[in-house]
Each structure stands twice: as structure tokens, then as C-alpha cells.
Amino acid sequence: MIIKDFLFKLKEDLKKLRHYPDVNLGEHYNVDYDAYWQKRDYMKGLPGQGKPTLRPWPRQRAELLSKMIEPGSVVLDIGCGNGAVLDYVNQKIGIRGIGVDLGIEILGQAKGLGLETIAMDVTDISKLKDLPEVDYIIGFEILEHMPTPEAFLHEVRRKARRGLFFSFPNTGYYLHRLRLVTGRFPLQWINHPGEHLRYWTVKDVKWWVRSMNFNLDTLIVYEGLPGLNKIMPKLFGQGLFFKITNKK
């Protein structure tokens, strides 16, 4: 099974070595948040039901989170999208989930899952002071979209009593390195090349968190080439999941 999964993943990766998404930047030259979510297809409904199911990547992050927080915790998800991750963790261990996002339509889906929601542009640092204090703050696949994630983290650190969890792509993944060798920048965007503004490898995360005077409690490299991502995670792991806490 591992060999089969390895070959399938390798084939899919190599398709992306010379690939660029099909977009017309002459007509759609701005980042469109709603179009991004539609193309990302973050979750799909189960056949015959309105209940959504997470795709593999966000499901892995939700599973990791479920094992690292306590039942009954108050969890604030910044960039919650349609609330699928919070709903998954709530069904798994029982939490109070609060979702924060900019899109009214996407927040409507989160409300449909029974979540509390807050409409906010979290790139506006001045507004973060209005967020409630909670046990944990999570932000999966959002920091790479921000021009100043350091300012964001220093502001939200005051709102998390027990810790903060984040994730973003591993730019050290072998496919991104191969694209650079062939003269192409790492491909991590979906609908517009301006989606990602910042990039990290495993070593970058360790240095970056330490330089901001946080404790790096946990760093997990996940996804990527099956088998090799366990042996050489920095090179063959595709995503980075980490927990940080304030230094006492």
C-alpha cells in the first residue's frame, strides 16, 4: 500500500514540475477571496447530506489538533472558512468553537454548522484587539497570506491562554526545490500568484519562532511522499504544523 501511495503521489507531484494554474491575469489581476475558496474546494458534502467532510490535508490538521487540546476548550479559528475544522474537532472531543473570517458567505456556512462567528479582516492588526480571550487560537494556512505575520502573532498572543496552533506549506519540499532548479518559483498558489506573500522551511520556522520570543512547543511535518516523509521530513514532508506558547 505504501509503495502504491508513494508512486501515486510522485506521479502527481511531477505533473506540477512545469505546471502553472490556468488563470487570465489580464482580466483577473486582483486576488479574489471568494474565487479562491470556490477553487480551493476545501470540503465537500457527503452524498445525500448537507454535512461536509474535510479533505485529507485539513483532516490531518484537525486530527492533530484534537489530540493536543483538552475537551471543553474554547478555540478561536482565525481564517476559519466554512468552519469545517472546528466542527470536526467539536464532534471528536467537544469544544466551543469560534470562527473568524472576512467572507460573509463563507461565515454563513460556518454558522450552519452551529459555530459562533466573527466577521473581521484579520490583516488589519488594529482590529485584533477586539477578539475575545480564549484557550487556544488556531490559524491553518493563513500566515503565508499575510504581509506582516509577525505583527499579527504579537497581537493575538495576548488572546490565547494556553497556546496557538498554525500551519503552512513547507517550501523546502523536494518539488519546490526541483521547480527552482528548472527556473520556476515554488507553486503554492491556487487562483492567483499573489495569494502567498511569505514562505518557510523547517529551519526557517525554528529560527523565526525563536526570534519572536515564543516557545516552539511542537513542530510536525506532515503529508508529502509516503515513507520518505518519515525518514527525511524536511525534504519530503509537504506541510508544517506547529504549536507555540508565550515565554514565561
H helix runs in 102-232, sequence order: 104-112, 149-156, 174-181, 202-211, 228-231
- β-bridge mates for residue 78, sequence order: 100
Burial of 96 (0-12, 13-18, 19+ CB in 10 A): middle
pTM confidence score = 0.91
The stretch 220-240 carries a mean pLDDT of: 97
Q: What is the pLDDT of residue 88?
A: 95
The stretch 171-199 carries a mean pLDDT of: 93
The stretch 99-126 carries a mean pLDDT of: 91
Q: What is the pLDDT of residue 9?
A: 95
- Grid cell for residue 60: 490531518
The stretch 23-31 carries a mean pLDDT of: 76
More confident residue, 69 or 30: 69
Q: What is the pLDDT of residue 35?
A: 63
Checking DSSP bridges between strand 43-45 and strand 52-54, what pairing results, if any?
antiparallel
Q: How far is CA 232 from its chain centroid? A: 22
Give the architecture-level CATH label for domain 2-17+33-39+56-246: 3-Layer(aba) Sandwich (3.40)
Question: Rounded to an integer, what distance in angstroms lies between the CA atom of residue 95 and that of residue 89?
Answer: 7
How many other CB atoms are there within 10 angstroms of residue 3's CB atom? 9
Q: What is the pLDDT of residue 49?
A: 45
Q: What is the pLDDT of residue 38?
A: 61
Examine the pLDDT at 5 and tell me if it is beyond 80: yes
Lowest pLDDT segment from 45-49, 71-75, 163-167, 208-212: 45-49
